Amino acid sequence: METEFYLKAAIEAAREAGQMLRENLDASREIIYKGEVDLVTNFDNQSQQMIFDRLVENFPDHDFVAEEGLDQKKGSAYRWIFDPLDGTTNYAHRFPFFSVSIALEFNGQIICGVVYDPMRDETFSGTKDYGAFLNGDRIKVSALNELDKSLLATGFPYDLRESEENNIAHFNHFVTRAQAIRRCGSAALDLCYVACGRFDGFWELKLKPWDVAAASLIVQEAGGHLTDFKNKEFSIHSHETLGTNGLIHQQMLDVLRMANGTED
């Protein structure tokens, strides 16, 4: 299977960059603010360069897009989409929850993805139609079917101080209807935790393709379900991301609708 070759390359690139990030977690770093609360470190850029160099060496004719300004277009049907450091704010504060996310898109469809957690040495991976795995072992979503017994995860957009569409209303609605909510700071890992059953559901606004490309495939291959907040088909370019085990999906949609003043 040709996709196995791509997946192997992605895993090697993610692990190499992730190990560099882990080794430098306590090192001094340069921090640049892209917005009031949106930042980037020199290690984001170093990780991005490492991943790009490894992948472009193997796939020189492919397209590439990544968070820190990389956008190489050669007209290929294949496009690598990656986040060199998902959880930059955590990393800047030396909070050890972050990941490296790499996905490969073919003719607009994600065909393989890897999310690597360097601190736990956990490699989440998925290949379209061939399942999802954690360190080589097959994973699947949880079997919990009640929202009030569910552990959920979410995050808040970088423009939360300026925009009224900031997830606070949704959070307030869920916090009294779920067993608990976690806000960990890496959407890619949050979705992978849905895929392996650690979380039962996840929602977030204004994520970018590199945040969700790999993890969304992993969730789907683990038996989970993804849509937007109105139950429309999920896209990595969507403004809204709802990922669940499938069993609590409608219950979460019902709560998300409450922000619009309707519960029916």
Q: Sign of torsion, CA 219 223 225 226?
A: positive
- Residue 263: pLDDT band (50, 70, 90) is very low
* Domain residue spans of the chain: 2-138, 147-260
Chain segment 45-72, per-residue pLDDT in tens: 999 999 999 999 999 999 999 988 899 9
Decide: 105 and 210 in contact? Cβ < 8 Å. Answer: no
Within a 13 Å sphere around the CA of 52, how many CA atoms are in the beta-carbon half? 18
* Right CATH for 147-260 from 3.20.20.70, 3.30.830.10, 3.40.50.720, 3.40.190.80: 3.40.190.80
Task: Give yes or no for residue 200 having a pLDDT over 60.
Answer: yes
Alpha-helical segments (H) within the chain: 2-23, 42-58, 88-92, 168-175, 187-195, 209-221, 249-257
Structure confidence at residue 158 (pLDDT): 75
Once rounded to an integer, what is the mean pLDDT over residues 223-227? 98
The C-alpha atoms of residue 82 and residue 212 are separated, in whole angstroms, by 9
Structure confidence at residue 225 (pLDDT): 98
Edge-to-edge strand order for the sheet containing 122-127?
A: 71-72, 63-66, 78-86, 99-106, 109-117, 122-127, 131-134, 137-138
Cβ of 197: how many Cβ atoms within 10 Å?
18
What is the distance of C-alpha 2 from the center of its chain? Answer: 24
Q: Which fold has domain 2-138?
A: Fructose-1,6-Bisphosphatase; Chain A, domain 1 (3.30.540)
The C-alpha atoms of residue 79 and residue 264 are separated, in whole angstroms, by 41
Chain segment 123-178, per-residue pLDDT in tens: 999 999 999 999 999 999 999 999 999 999 999 987 778 787 889 999 999 999 99
